[in-house]
Structure 1
Amino acid sequence: MDYLHRTWAEIDLDSIRHNFRELKKRLSGSCLTMAVVKADAYGHGDGFVSRTLQAEGADWFGVSNINEAISLRRQEVKKPILILGFTPPELAGELNRLNVSQTVYSPDYANALSEAAQRQGVRVDCHIKVDTGMSRIGFYAQRSQAAQAAEEIAQTCSLPGLSCTGIFTHFACADEYNPDSAAYTRGQFQAFLDTLKLLETRGIHFALRHCCNSAGALAYPEMHLDMVRLGVVLYGLNPSAECAGMAALRPAMSLYTTVTMVKELEEGVAVSYGRRYAAGEGGRTIASIAVGYADGYRRSFTNRGRVLIHGQFAQVTGAVCMDQMMVDVTGISQIQTGDRVTLLGADGENRITLDDFAAVNGTINYEECCLIGRRVPRVYIEGGRESAVVDYVVAPL
């Protein structure tokens, strides 16, 4: 394929298909699927991932903002799209033109969007967001506030220029299975049902009711309702360690780079900025490799991360630089310039996962894949072969 073998990510579309099918078979025949492809499909590339899932039968797509919705429409995604976050109300006409649904989450926002839609002579399809426990955006329905939320939602549904066809909430800790967290999730679900019941007494019904994210879809089948929102599981990642093994997921992303130089360091010789590493007794063999924090391999891996070369682990030595870093290859034979380095994925019998990344950096696997930079080409694999390459820098979409 025509791409520069410096640093690149491989995205296995067959794994994404497999993961979608694994989750789909857990749903009732009437339950729809929303594939959440925000943040460039969690760093996997929104176009190829979305078209793959569209062909697999995903019913909806979820994005964060209107820019992401435009990207999907430009890349031949025809299925319905829901913007899960904020869109400036003055873009009501653009929402209508794109045939994209917008989340409405407060009386003020609803009124502003309604006024803009009327001025522009359009109607905007909307899904109502209900806050049942995230304390983020949403009509506030926590604790004793369900009646007030229902009143505000009812008023929103009567606003000109808006068509409120869906309603949803978002679970805060569906990926935690301790008794307290499980009770909290069930409480959120009940608050959502209570709000729906209050609306139904007013004659207000919605075509789509949804609350389950990836973890909820795995752990709470009784809460699937009309649609589930599948995010991190599509990419072969468990929402949490507690979810591991609940579905036979296959990680879709691997990340590779290249050895650019090998040198022998005498004992005591320092490596990289700040001299945070010095060669130990007897000296060390150090390889420079062509990846750095600007590519998404974080500086916090300094002296803590490890990579795979020739199937063996090599420790990151010294500070990770913007575009390069060094690893200790002492004891790994026949290292040469141009050798492939596995940053993420399998090499021989060993593997490095996004969960390993997250453990080093004190975060979650979701964040790690989203940080892989746009100067890293995405190489798409199907049937074990390269099928396409997206290089955001050389050939931007």
Structure 2
Amino acid sequence: MNRLTKRIYPTCCLLLLPLIAAAQPLTLETAEQIALQKDLSLQAYSEQSLALQEEATFAAQLPDPQLILASANMPVDTWDIDQEPMTQLKLGVRQQFPAGDTRALRQEKMFAQSDQVLAERADAALRLRQQIRQHWLNLAGWSHSRQLLQDYRPVFEQLVDVTLSFYSTGRKHQQDYLRAKLLLGQLDNRLLAADKQVAEERAWLSRWLGDRAYTELDSRWPTHWHAPTAGPVSTEHPRFQASDYRVRQQTAQLDLAGERYKPNWGVELSYARREADDMVGDRLPDFFSAAITVDLPLFTADRQDRQYRAEKHRLEALRVGRADLLGEMNTALVRGLTRVRELQRSLTLYREQLLSLGEQQAEAALQAYRSDAADFADVMQSTSVRLELELDYQQTQQRYYQSLAEVYYLLPDHAPGGEEI
């Protein structure tokens, strides 16, 4: 390898890397990461959380102070500021202070809202991952079914050829040939339906994957998925966490209602200048004033008491809803795991008995038909049963992995695929 080749070779490798990556079938895990990175709703959740954090800092601040500029006791006959001894030019400042821990509680509530949005974002990411998996598995299921129908087409073509040969020699009736042609036509129609479903699933996936949804996809079943044995649903699940943060917000709101029993208060400081002179011609002294204002929450029966009780009822409603949500999620988990176990048993039955029996029956019926020991109806039925068993097996696998995807949503710590974005 000469010096020029040594220089060009690494550059060519780097240029070819994207082409090599593009030539690889797109996997489910890669599709999930692409969707999580491009989904705009997740970005919206992040921006909303940041906005609430900014508002939390704002909520903890004191109100803006008020500047007071005033002229007091002006004589209306001349409007001279030095005519009357009580005429003043006043400059002051006023500051209000919310009652008790109002500012800290407002900030606590806003931070809880921000955390709720982040929890909802995490839950949305889990749901998005589940949605991608469901559509991907639908696509895989229809792709497998289409391939299976395509593999069986030569079998049905063979039936057409056999019946035509027997009919030509007078050994069988034309009805057998027509039945075989009908079966082949029905199979072709199912192929068209499978193509339609594959196209629809690719269209669904293109929402998140763009043009990559129409490239080669790895449609193999995710055999590394396994049913988790853990349970129940963790209280760290983002959906439950979002409900818990709503309870925390309402707890802060209840505490804020309690702070309304305490008075708001304010401070006012002012300096008043006088321009008038006294009896001997000296300028009168200026004034300095200080005042404190305090609210008097005396009549609380139909104000603070009512509001406090209302917030308390809202808090209890959220707590009940949170407990009900956890029960609902655990019920869904039990149902999902039960469905997974039943489908596992069904798949085992297919592998160990049904598929082999269907194959044996179809071969035996065809051999008997060739030997004039069976009717074509037996061949047609046994071949159709074998095909349906194969299709049912693929559909059962699809339902099994889709049920696992639902369980993985409820138990994200046991799910494959890495961390959420």
Please tell me the TM-score bracket, short chain as reference: under 0.3
Q: Which has the larger radius of gyration?
A: 2
Structure with greater contact order relative to length (CA < 8 Å, sep ≥ 6): 2
Q: TM-score, normalised by structure 2?
A: 0.17
Higher helix fraction (1 or 2): 2
